[in-house]
Amino acid sequence: MTEMGNHPRLQDRADSREGVPFLPDYVLFLLASTSAAASEEFHAEVRANGLRVPEWRVLACLSDADGQMVTRLAALSLMEQSRLTRIIDQMDARGLVERRSDAADRRRVRVFLTPAGADLARRMIDKARAHETALLDRLPGGSGRELKRLLRVVYRELCADD
């Protein structure tokens, strides 16, 4: 059976309701499926380096801006705050991050990379950039780079709505 692939291509079908198949022409399906298919290879590399995907996301977020609050990290890494709190506990225990009180407001807690965490973040970001280059090179006729340019526009627009 060819039906077992992880990201099967939907075939156009003439016999669906109203004669028009829905999912292959639905932008939210295309976004979610393309995101999953594109991320899958790199996530395997993340796990091969002893990290879970949420841990990699936290390292990458803190590498761009160290000392973030958990609320902000949860939003950037697309995770429920309760789940992220447990992940940060585990990363703290492994010596990758540490919590410190905000200098201006002691009730606020911020998360910082340790030197070991910063080093691991740097190495994983190098791998992520290499994977991205290979991925974009593989897509036909510059479509990957054009997709990235448009995603920057759309991401800014959607997130500016908040």
Residues 94-113 that bind a copy of itself (CB under 8 A): none
Q: Is the dihedral of CA 45, 49, 55, 59 positive or negative?
A: negative
One residue of 14, 48, 78, 104 binding a copy of itself per CB under 8 A: 78
Buried b (16+ CB within 10 A) or exposed e, 106-117: eeeebbebeeeb
> For a copy of itself, which is the closer residue by CB, 69 or 116?
69
Q: Does 116 bind a copy of itself (CB under 8 A)?
A: no
Interface stretch with a copy of itself, choices 83-91, 93-101, 115-123 (CB under 8 A): 115-123
Q: Does 114 bind a copy of itself (CB under 8 A)?
A: no
| Closest separation in Å from C-beta 38 to a copy of itself | 6
Q: Does 21 bind a copy of itself (CB under 8 A)?
A: yes
Q: Which residue, 64, 114, 66, 63, is CA-closest to 91?
A: 114
> For a copy of itself, which is the closer residue by CB, 22 or 90?
22
Pairwise CA distance, residues 132 & 39, whole Å: 10
Pairwise CA distance, residues 79 & 107, whole Å: 23
| Closest separation in Å from C-beta 4 to a copy of itself | 5
